[in-house]
Amino acid sequence: MISSDYLDMPPLIGAGGTALLPGSKSISNRVLLLAALAEGKTLITGLLDSDDTRVMLAALHALGVIVSTQGTDTIVHGCGGRFPERRADLFMGNAGTAIRPLTAALALLGGSYTLSGVPRMHERPIGDLVDALRAINCSIDYLNQLGYPPLAINLGTPNVDTPIRVRGDVSSQFLTALLLALPLVSQQQDVVVEVIGTLISRPYVHITLELLCRFGVHVENENWQRFVIPAGSRYTSPGRMAVEGDASSASYFLAAGVLGSLHGAGDAVRVEGVDAHSIQGDVEFARVLERLGARVEWGDGFISASGLIPGRKRLTGGIIDCVAIPDAAMTLAITALFADAPTLLTGIGSWRVKETDRIAAMGAELAKLGAQVEAGEDWLRVHPLSDGQWRSAAIGTYDDHRMAMCFSLASFGPADIRILDPGCVSKTFPDYFQVFASVARPVPVIAIDGPTASGKGTVASKVAAMLGFHYLDSGALYRTTALLALRQDIKLDDEARLSELALRLPIRCDGSQVWVGPEDVSAAIRTEDVGRAASALASLPAVRQSLLALQHSLRRAPGLVADGRDMGTEVFPSARLKVFLTADVQARADRRYKQLISQGISTTIIDVLRDLEARDARDSKRSVAALRPAQDAVPLNTSALDVDQTVDQVLQWWRQCS
């Protein structure tokens, strides 16, 4: 569970590994009902554990169905087409996938039942289904408001001699409910269902028909307008039933397998629980990725994506018809940022009525990243971003799990991504961010901390140069803040003004050169006065907090070497290699003295020594981010080593851990 208000995503340089998907919600609740109605026992593997499945399980229990667990598997003892309990009051929470098919099944079987839910459930229409069932003489009454739950079901006299007609142009779920329930009354004669209007969301009806087949009922599908359940149909358990992984959620990991390769450090990302035989429409997402230039492999029980086909540098833009993959299509709006041309997503009108207006939400949040986006009633055009156009952003998620999950992919871009209200993923994938982190490869950081004049600056910048990594001299940020504070006469204990100054530091670092606006301050920040002032203001928590985002923003592909006091403990606690450099105080004083003299600054070795000791004491005794080695830092005493030896040692450790 994630309880915080936001989650900062580390910038990613690649991805690789295997993601186990949670079970599909659409399949889980259908399978539970089918297994309950079938003859025989069904062992279900991979069932989703979520609010909606818990509601269905509780209802089945109240209806007298025996359900047991064996490890992580669920065993449903089928009741052969008749629920043992003929009277029950069922609480359906807010589970549409439970109340609709149960209403149909109970109405056809007859008994004395009530079905109710949370207040929001009583606002969700069910009239089209009730009309269809009443038309064949089922006994259903509204207990409250016409057209909405709660409902009372009694013994009716269902007559299926003539076709049952149901609307299909508003929701496909009422048709699914009838298709799941009508085999209960098809022993003597064919049962025909006719759809009024053009059927929407066909991939979901496809799931229903496929699952009916697995439980022994083969429905004839006449062009999605007429369905015939043959006489003599009855549910029989297949024995074992594996719930597929959620194909919509597979899209994030497959996209990660592609985007992760863009920095040249990606491997295959494999999703387990779906494959080419999946009955979920959203597996088509993988085919779309292939058409856009991705290298996709289809196997038995898995799909994997590993970058682009040879010769390609980016995904292709263009027009993508998303009618068949409405949920996974959201992922394409993010991969479009990394394409070679604008991407037009069409057929996404249903986005407007999902958890939020997804077209509006997607447009607003993509714009925060700097993207140019155009939208219409049922389409969205996303223009790609070049490296310089990306902007760091806090992404709103609109209580929509899929917004949160697909924007995690933006962390493959060169910007800092904060996901607001990340806990909203619990709707379908409670541990999404943990699973994502297990395949994501953050931009590597080497943290080199140590006291003043331990040589960390020289060593860190050389290591960075050898590896082609970026270099962060965090001390320069404190020093620059101090320089500006001295110039602006800000007192060194005025935490509010200093932190304000640090937050808007107009600094630009280029190797060892530091600029404030147009001014090169590289020399000015190195004086002893500025060093002392830096050390003083560095003990103020608000100042340290203000400089955090700036330091994080320098973590960019292909990697970062950061030197300072708290790189390994506070700023980059997940750094892959942490080195704590020390040297005897005399050795450090000698080095600093020579450095100052070579810069034409006159001082004495005694003054330097005293100053070092005072600064060490202040840095290690302060209450925030005190100078101390991280628990997992490797100590390196450089008193007897020259710079090259020290650099060699760090590089050797780096090779061992990368």
Would you tell me which residues interact with ligand C5P (CB under 6 A)?
A: 452, 474-475, 478-479, 531, 534-535, 538, 564-566, 615, 619
Nearer to ligand C5P, 441 or 615 (CB): 615
- Residue 607 to residues 483, 535, 595, Cα–Cα distance (Å): 21, 17, 14
Angle between helices 25-37 and 202-214 (to 10 degrees): 40
CB 33 within 8 A of CB 101: yes
Residue 11 is given by DSSP the state P
Q: Which two tokens stand for residue 213?
A: 């087949």
Min separation Cβ 287 and ligand C5P, Å:
49
Query: To the nearest whole angstrom, how small is the minimum distance from the Cβ of residue 462 to ligand C5P?
Result: 16
**Distance spanning both ends of the chain, measured CA to CA:** 30
408/370 Cα distance (integer angstroms) = 16
3-state SS string for 568-579: HHHHCCCCCEEE
The 3-state DSSP class for residue 227 equals strand
Comparison of 455 and 475: residue with beta carbon closer to ligand C5P: 475
Our answer to whether residue 327 is catalytic in this structure is yes
| Closer by beta carbon to ligand C5P, 245 or else 531 | 531
DSSP per residue, 165-206: EEE-SS-SHHHHHHHHHGGGG-SSS-EEEEEESPPP-HHHHH
Min dist CB 411 to ligand C5P, Å, is: 24
What's the min distance (Å) between Cβ of 11 and ligand C5P?
A: 20
Cβ distance to ligand C5P smaller for residue 207 or 453: 453
- Please say which residue, 304 or 452, places its beta carbon nearer to ligand C5P: 452
- Residue linked to tokens 């050898």: 466
CB 534 to ligand C5P: min, Å: 4
d(CA 565, CA 451): 7
Closest to ligand C5P by CB, 512 or 645:
512
Q: Which is nearer to ligand C5P, 139 or 522 (CB)?
A: 522
Q: How far is the CB of 645 from ligand C5P (least distance, A)?
A: 21
Angstrom distance (rounded) from CA 220 to CA 183: 13
Q: Reduce the DSSP state of residue 594 to 3 states and report it.
A: helix
Query: Any alpha helices (H) in 369-455, and if so which ranges?
Result: 401-407, 432-439
Pairing type for strands 470-473 and 6-9 reads unpaired
Q: Closest distance between ligand C5P and the C-beta of residue 416, in Å?
A: 19
- Look up residue 176 and give its two tokens: 């699914």
User: To the nearest whole angstrom, how small is the minimum distance from the Cβ of residue 540 to ligand C5P?
Assistant: 10
Q: DSSP characters for 342-378? A: -EEEES-GGGGGSSS-HHHHHHHHHHHTT--EEE-SS
Q: Which is nearer to ligand C5P, 356 or 539 (CB)?
A: 539
Q: Which of 327, 563, 566, 616 is catalytic?
A: 327
- Could you give the angle at which helices 284-291 and 247-259 cross, rounded to 10 degrees? 20
- By the 10 Å C-beta count (0-12 exposed, 13-18 middle, 19+ buried), 118 is classed as middle
Residues 459, 581: Cα–Cα separation, whole Å: 10
Active site residues: 327
